[in-house]
Amino acid sequence: MSEKIGIAIEADPGPGILYQLTGVIARHGGNITSVDIVEERQTYFEIDIAEEPAALIGELSALPIVHRVWQVQTFQAVFGKRVIIMGGGAQVGQVAIGAISEADRHNIRGEHISVDTIPLVGEQPLAAAVRACARLPRVKALVMAGSLMGGDIERAVREVRAQGLLVVSLNMAGSVPAAADLVVSDPVQAGVMTVMAVAETAKFDIARLKQRTF
Amino acid sequence: MSEKIGIAIEADPGPGILYQLTGVIARHGGNITSVDIVEERQTYFEIDIAEEPAALIGELSALPIVHRVWQVQTFQAVFGKRVIIMGGGAQVGQVAIGAISEADRHNIRGEHISVDTIPLVGEQPLAAAVRACARLPRVKALVMAGSLMGGDIERAVREVRAQGLLVVSLNMAGSVPAAADLVVSDPVQAGVMTVMAVAETAKFDIARLKQRTF
């Protein structure tokens, strides 16, 4: 049986550090499921490992480049699933109200859902942000919250849906609503429905509502 | 002159993958400033590199475990600084309204500020989330948004402040306000002030307001 552990490491900065750290982890048969470089000197790993972590921690601590190694809680346990809302400040704020209130209700019952937002303007920045979401860990759904979105944003929405992300759109001008999984007119309702769709604790089957407009 | 590049890699899953990838990057003198494992098969690096990236990309593509390598925009360019709001759904939602509207105003003028939230209840989960924020990339400030927070949450707030995070607290019961950089009674104002404090485009000197209550 393998166990997931969180390990934080303080080490010298510079090229090759991650190579040395991951070498030790590989020798102990650890499968790295998450890694973050917090700042130049601190790296944080989540590792699936079959053995007791003491030997791995000991060998990491013994590397000349390493100053300190300590075990911490895993991010999955703290932050869980992520919903990302992007677009104009006015609409993003209202969608956030709905999503945050609904996430609170599920988190109280044992879920771990966090709600992230990015207030942003312009076709190219928004398309880049949509594509970047597919490269962020733990993201389950996007809400497109604006008045007019189309062109390359529409293409980006179709790409990330093909990669498995759920995309909800406000009812707005442009071609993005037609490319979304679900279109919702009221921003608070859009936030609530998106969180319900990703929560295990909710009775809400997005597959039965695909491409509907509310 | 070194340049920052973003590289996405699709590879076989399993232990040792990151070790092989970082080995190639180290041989090219690349300094990894950010890394994310998006899912088992996809890893995303941001790398400071002095040479043209073509040779590095070619050698990564040639690894037997690698299926595809492509260059993408860096996260710093897309998401930038992060403000995290945590606590009860009602208060977190109101702080988010202020923070998102204010971030929008600065992002329109060239800033990149995103606002993340985590609706969460209980002393231990909140203390763990505060400590975890110090291990997340690009986080500049936390807002503690609740009615009663103290005990281990207060200790966690003091720890992350010592690590350089700005912590703003709503005016609430418990010992957290006394441990914060700034206490603000109105949640919308708390969100706005926090974003102003981290924005380069704002005239707001947090050092002059430390430990004040508004």
For residues B191 and B97, the answer to whether their CB atoms sit within 8 Å is yes
Residue in A with minimal Cα distance to B107: A120
- Rounded to whole angstroms, how far apart are CA atoms B187 and A203? 32
pLDDT score at B92? 97
pLDDT at residue B152 above 90?
A: yes
B42 — pLDDT class (breaks 50, 70, 90): confident
Query: Residues of B with CB below 8 A from A129's CB?
Result: 78-79
Residue B175 buriedness (CB in 10 A; 0-12 / 13-18 / 19+): middle
pLDDT at residue A151 above 90?
A: yes
Q: Does B30 contact A at CB distance below 8 Å? A: yes
Sign of CA dihedral A112, B44, A135, B48: positive
CB < 8 Å & 24+ apart, contacts of A22-27 = A22/B18, A22/B19, A22/B22, A23/B19, A24/A56, A24/A59, A24/A60, A24/A63, A25/A56, A25/A60, A25/B15, A25/B18, A25/B19, A26/B15, A26/B16, A26/B18, A26/B19, A27/A59
Q: Are strands A139-145 and A166-170 parallel, antiparallel or unpaired?
A: parallel
- Rounded to whole angstroms, how far apart are CA atoms B92 and B135? 21
Residues in chain A: 214
pLDDT at residue A197 above 90?
A: yes
- Rounded to whole angstroms, how far apart are CA atoms B118 and B141? 14
Using alpha carbons only, what angle is made at residue B199 by residues B193 and A35, rounded to the nearest 5 degrees? Answer: 105
Residue B135: how many other CB atoms lie within 10 Å: 21
Residue A2 amino acid letter? S
Of the candidates A88, A96, A105, the beta carbon closest to that of B117 is on A96
Half-sphere exposure of A40 (CA within 13 A, CB side): 6
Query: Residues of B with CB below 8 A from A115's CB?
Result: 96, 116-119
Residue in A with minimal Cα distance to B98: A93
Could you report the per-residue pLDDT of A94-128, keeping only the tens digit for each?
Answer: 999 999 999 999 999 989 999 999 999 899 999 99
pLDDT at residue A1 above 70?
A: no
pLDDT at residue B133 above 70?
A: yes
Residue B61 buriedness (CB in 10 A; 0-12 / 13-18 / 19+): middle
B205 — pLDDT class (breaks 50, 70, 90): confident
A139 — pLDDT class (breaks 50, 70, 90): very high
CA distances from residue B159 to B133, B143, B167, B169 in whole angstroms, order as listed: 11, 15, 11, 15
Alpha carbon A160 to its chain's center: 13
Residue of A146, A157, A142, A133 whose CA lies nearest to A84: A142
The SS3 call for residue A62 is: coil
Question: What's chain A's average pLDDT?
Answer: 90
pLDDT at residue B206 above 80?
A: no
Could you report the per-residue pLDDT of B164-196, keeping only the tens digit for each?
Answer: 999 999 999 999 999 999 999 999 999 999 999
Over residues B128-154, mean pLDDT: 93
Question: What's chain B's average pLDDT?
Answer: 90
For residues A184 and A129, the answer to whether their CB atoms sit within 8 Å is no
Reported ipTM = 0.79
A37 — pLDDT class (breaks 50, 70, 90): confident
Residue B14: how many other CB atoms lie within 10 Å: 10
Residues 118-137 of chain B whose Cβ lies under 8 A from any Cβ of chain A: 118-121, 125, 128-129, 131-132, 134-137
Q: Is the pLDDT higher at B87 or at B3?
A: B87
- Rounded to whole angstroms, how far apart are CA atoms A76 and A48? 13
pLDDT score at A10? 92
pLDDT at residue B201 above 90?
A: no
Could you report the per-residue pLDDT of A45-74, keeping only the tens digit for each?
Answer: 989 998 888 999 999 999 999 999 999 877
Over residues B131-156, mean pLDDT: 93
Over residues A136-155, mean pLDDT: 95
Yes or no, beta carbons of B132 and A79 under 8 Å apart: yes
B1 — pLDDT class (breaks 50, 70, 90): low
pLDDT at residue A18 above 80?
A: yes
Residue B210 buriedness (CB in 10 A; 0-12 / 13-18 / 19+): exposed
